[in-house]
Structure 1
Amino acid sequence: QHVLYGHTSTVRCLALHGDIVVSGSRDATVRVWNIRTGGRLHMLSGHTAAVRCVCYNGKYVVSGAYDHTIRVWLPDQERCVHTLEGHTNRVYSLVFDGKHIVSGSLDCMIRVWDVEQGTCVHQLTGHLSLTSGMQLRGNILVSGNADSTVKIWDIESGKCLHTLAGRNKHASAVTWVQVVMNYVVSSGDDGTVKLWDLNTGDFIRNLVYLESASSG
């Protein structure tokens, strides 16, 4: 058991890969730690505002921040290899599969980036608010948004395949999404957990329904 000291403000996000954990903080830094020894391995500095989301695949650390940017790092060299610019508001969510970075922002936009080239390959438009959670499986992206909808995208074509909405949609912000086999599971501030068909976008049923749900 170790307590990892070093950040000078709130830690907002973590990513675990093997014995390595990556942390992002309101102090605008990203730190890399060995969880077996408790030692800090690297500190990645460059963001100018709070770091809200991080990913790590063993080669690259990817971080998204309130300075509207995503940074791609080689942590062993403590070097930023790309600064991805294009969002016009805070970056809140990231997914990374080793080839594509997908970022969600308060600007309502989802962007797909090529990690090697550092370029934006698609802008996914359609959500009306903050994208708080995403999952990527192959070329299929599922995004949950504060506009109360879930969308299914093909990141190769940049097209929206399905919007999970209609009369069975969440009544307030979607807080979490998960792909399980051929299903999408989503939860919301309305106190529900819903099950959807990934391939058709059809609503199947509520898994959880809480009477004392938050109003958002």
Structure 2
Amino acid sequence: MPAPSSPTGQSAIRPAHELIAHDGYLSCCRFIDEQSLLTSSGDSTCIFWDVEKNEAITSFVDHGGDVMSLSVLPSINRHIFVSGSCDATAKVWDTRLGKCVQTHAGHESDVNAVQFFPDGNAFSTGSDDSTCRLFDIRSYGAVNVFGNDKIVSGVTSVSFSASGRLLFAGHDDSSCLAWDVLADGKGLAFQLAGHESRVSCLGVNSTGEALCTGSWDSLLKVWA
């Protein structure tokens, strides 16, 4: 029997699984492995799922506002993840313990984006307060703050270069800024300009040779 067609004439693809438990919008989802998934939501929680069983295993409920983003520790044992929330904090969680193990404060507004450093010992945050911060989970604190008085737009997304030397940040004002992680956080490494509306997402490819930015201007741009 042929696959059912959509109104456009293309074959419709049906979902293999449907996961239901959140009470708010879904802001982010990340696979841990082929059977495990993490999600974050406007209901102020994150959920750890068994995809094959269509079952919510653990709910993480310590945030006091919408959870906007999450990132999974880049290692073989992917039990640790970090989340960013509208309560202006980032929290580190352990799925084995089912609870928060670190809370990182410092931002003055919503934390919209989080991303682990390539070696897993630190993570970056991006906030509506127009700054990014680099938190070290070993020293339990911020080791750099990226921003200056000329930057007044909120940060929507963050990603590291393959080496971790550069931190890329997408902004509400259509810009993408690149920061040198080892330098003074007030000076930019460079800026990418080309979008006509807010940069809503970005990511670096696995080889580190290209950056892709997505914008409300309906365009994706690849920078090499």
Q: How does 1:1-216 map to 2 (within 5 A)?
A: 38-57=13-32, 58-97=34-73, 98-137=78-117, 138-167=120-149, 170-180=151-161, 181=163, 182-202=165-185, 203-209=187-193
Structure 2 CA distance for aligned equivalents of residues 51 and 211 of structure 1: 26
Name the Cα RMSD after superposition. 2.8
What is the TM-score with the length of structure 2 in the denominator?
0.72
Runs of 4+ displaced beyond 6 Å = 2-5, 210-214
8 Å Cα contact 1:144-1:177 kept in structure 2: yes
DSSP 3-state at the match of 2:19: strand
Structure 2 unaligned residues grouped into runs of 5+: 7-11, 199-224
Q: Deviations over 1:45-90 (max 9, x none)?
A: 2112222211112232111111111110111112211110111111
Report the residue type matching 1:111 in the other structure.
K
- String of CA shifts for 1:12-63, please: whole Å, max 9, x gaps: xxxxxxxxxxxxxxxxxxxxxxxxx934222222112222211112232111
Aligned residues: 182
Task: In structure 1, list runs of 5 or more residues that go unmatched.
Answer: 6-36
Q: Tell me which amino acid in the other structure corresponds to 1:200.
A: A
Q: Residue type matched to 1:176 in 2? A: S
Structure number with higher strand proportion: 1
The SS at the match of 1:88 is: coil
Q: Check the 8 A contact 1:192/1:206 in 2, yes or no.
A: no
TM-score, length-scaled by structure 1: 0.74
Is 2:176–2:193's contact at 8 Å kept on the other side of the alignment?
Answer: yes
Cα pair distance change 1:38/1:122, threshold 3 Å: same
Amino acid at match of 1:177: V
